[in-house]
Chains A and B, each alone.
Chain A
Amino acid sequence: MSAAEKMSRRDEMETLLPFYLNGSLEGSDLEAVEEWLASDPSALAALGEAEAEFSGTSAANEAIRPPADALSRFAKALDAEAGPAAGKPAGSSWLAQAWGRFMAVPVGVAWAAAAVLLALIVVQTLVQPGGKGKDFEIAGAEDDLAKMPFALVKFKPDAKMSDISGFLGSNGLKVIGGPTTDGVFRLGIPAADAAGYTRQLGLIAAQPFTETVIEGRKPADGG
């Protein structure tokens, strides 16, 4: 292979490296890059440089922080586009609002979600905010909710209240918000680091009564 051909081949491999790193390369391109990495002593250094570019680009993007209220503003825009959703809370007190939310949970969405909310109403009526219910802890006013890692969870319509509450209680999970009219809860995740957070999310996702888990705020080291 001539020097010119070798350089041309290197140019081609350097062009494909970003796609090798992001896992989207396949077929003959993937084979060519792997063969190059295995046979050319300079290839691993090139891979290291591409990894540095990967990190730099990720950091540049992650530095851009979307506004925290984006979802609520989008929900309003969606309501304006599609018409208001039915069953919004009408009362002003927390109990009236909670009851409104309970009544707004659509039939067939999640009786379990409604049941958990009912438990919230009952427990919060009987104990001080921040106190412990029988089966699981209700996040109270003194919790620093603004900093607490959380995930958004929706339970299956046929889930049993006892299963959910037992699981929450035994794993130190807290209901800190919800349900929305769509039955989505915000669960506080008692994890000190990103790895613990990911484990907890995996645990929640693995439960038979869980329909959907969406990653929310991670602990501070979660990038």
Chain B
Amino acid sequence: MTAAAETDRALVDRVAKGDRAAVRLLFMRHHARVYRFVARQTGSEMMADDIANEVFLELWRQAPGFEGRSEVSTWLLGIARFKALSLLRKKKEDWIDDEAAAAVPDGADTPEVVTMKEDKAAALRRFVDALPEEHRTVIDLAYYHGQSVSEIGEVLGIPVATVKTRMFYARKKLGEALKAAGYDRGWP
């Protein structure tokens, strides 16, 4: 356990006793990552704003029941994931996200042509963004949020073996996309 994690837990203990300063400190520490996680899940910064706020209100409500079996960051991401999926399910029928629509390629360039216009780093970033949601999420959680295999399983509510399978296919797809774009990395 890291010193930062201990401090997070100490803050949650204070929140459980009704300390608003502690929940604000946790907000300042974790809000940006929770916000980005939800924005990547939903494709909507407006939804991310609402849900991230709700996550910290949930922290306020649930702090007395937090048993410390996971890191606070993992706990918050799990709450965020649940809320994002719930909202997406509710809005699935009629929700059209302008931001997501704007992000869809217009087909003017083939992937090869687009890739020639950018360097490998930019191409890789684009390929990560283009991964299916279930693959991109494990990539985000591992590379950006620093989560372990078991923590990702906890956040997503899936077995450890499934986390590894998704990571395998996510990286395989990235490798294939890079290869197709002329960047041979030797695997898969």
By a beta-carbon cutoff of 8 Å, the part of chain A in contact with chain B is 10-11, 14-19, 21-25, 42, 45-46, 49-50, 52-62, 64, 66-67, 70-71, 73-75, 77-78, 81-82, 85, 152, 154, 180, 182-184, 212, 214
Nearest-Cβ distance from residue A94 to partner chain B, whole angstroms: 23
Q: How far is the CA of A214 from the CA of B151 in the complex (A)?
A: 25
By a beta-carbon cutoff of 8 Å, the part of chain B in contact with chain A is 18, 20-21, 23-25, 27-29, 31-32, 35-36, 39-40, 45, 48-49, 52-53, 56-57, 60-61, 120-121, 124-125, 127-129, 139-140, 142-144, 146-149, 151, 164, 167-168, 171, 174-175, 185-188
Contact of A61 among B23, B36, B61 (CB under 8 A): B36
Q: How far is the CA of A58 from the CA of B167 in the complex (A)?
A: 16
Nearest-Cβ distance from residue B41 to partner chain A, whole angstroms: 11
Residues on A with C-beta less than 8 A from B25 are: 184, 212, 214
Q: Are B171 and A66 in contact (CB under 8 A)?
A: no
Residues on A with C-beta less than 8 A from B20 are: 78, 82, 85, 182
Nearest chain-A residue to B146 (Cβ)?
Answer: A22
Nearest chain-A residue to B150 (Cβ)?
Answer: A24
Q: Are B36 and A11 in contact (CB under 8 A)?
A: no
Nearest chain-B residue to A58 (Cβ)?
Answer: B144
Residues on B with C-beta less than 8 A from A82 are: 18, 20, 60
Q: Are B186 and A11 in contact (CB under 8 A)?
A: no
Q: Are A152 and B28 in contact (CB under 8 A)?
A: yes
Q: Are A18 and B139 in contact (CB under 8 A)?
A: yes
Q: Are B128 and A56 in contact (CB under 8 A)?
A: yes
Q: How far is the CA of A54 from the CA of B127 in the complex (A)?
A: 13
Q: How far is the CA of A10 from the CA of B185 in the complex (A)?
A: 13
A71 and B24 in contact (CB under 8 A), knowing A42-B186, A52-B121? yes
**Chain A CB within 10 A, most for which of B29, B129, B144:** B144
Residues on B with C-beta less than 8 A from A55 are: 121, 124
Nearest-Cβ distance from residue B115 to partner chain A, whole angstroms: 13
A19 and B187 in contact (CB under 8 A), knowing A64-B39, A74-B27, A180-B21? no
Q: Are A66 and B21 in contact (CB under 8 A)?
A: no
Q: Are B27 and A46 in contact (CB under 8 A)?
A: no
Q: How far is the CA of A62 from the CA of B40 in the complex (A)?
A: 11
A15 and B151 in contact (CB under 8 A), knowing A23-B146, A61-B140? no
Contact of A78 among B28, B57, B167 (CB under 8 A): B57
A53 and B139 in contact (CB under 8 A), knowing A22-B146, A77-B57? yes
Q: How far is the CA of A212 from the CA of B7 in the complex (A)?
A: 10
What would 14 A/B residue contacts be, using CB atoms closer than 8 Å? A18-B167, A18-B171, A22-B148, A53-B143, A57-B128, A58-B144, A61-B144, A62-B36, A66-B49, A74-B56, A78-B23, A182-B21, A184-B24, A184-B25
Q: Are A182 and B24 in contact (CB under 8 A)?
A: yes
Q: Are B53 and A46 in contact (CB under 8 A)?
A: no
Q: How far is the CA of A23 from the CA of B137 in the complex (A)?
A: 18
Contact of A24 among B31, B147, B167 (CB under 8 A): B147
Q: Are B35 and A81 in contact (CB under 8 A)?
A: no
Contact of A57 among B49, B144, B148, B186 (CB under 8 A): B144
Q: How far is the CA of A14 from the CA of B186 in the complex (A)?
A: 11
Residues on B with C-beta less than 8 A from A66 are: 31-32, 35-36, 48-49, 52
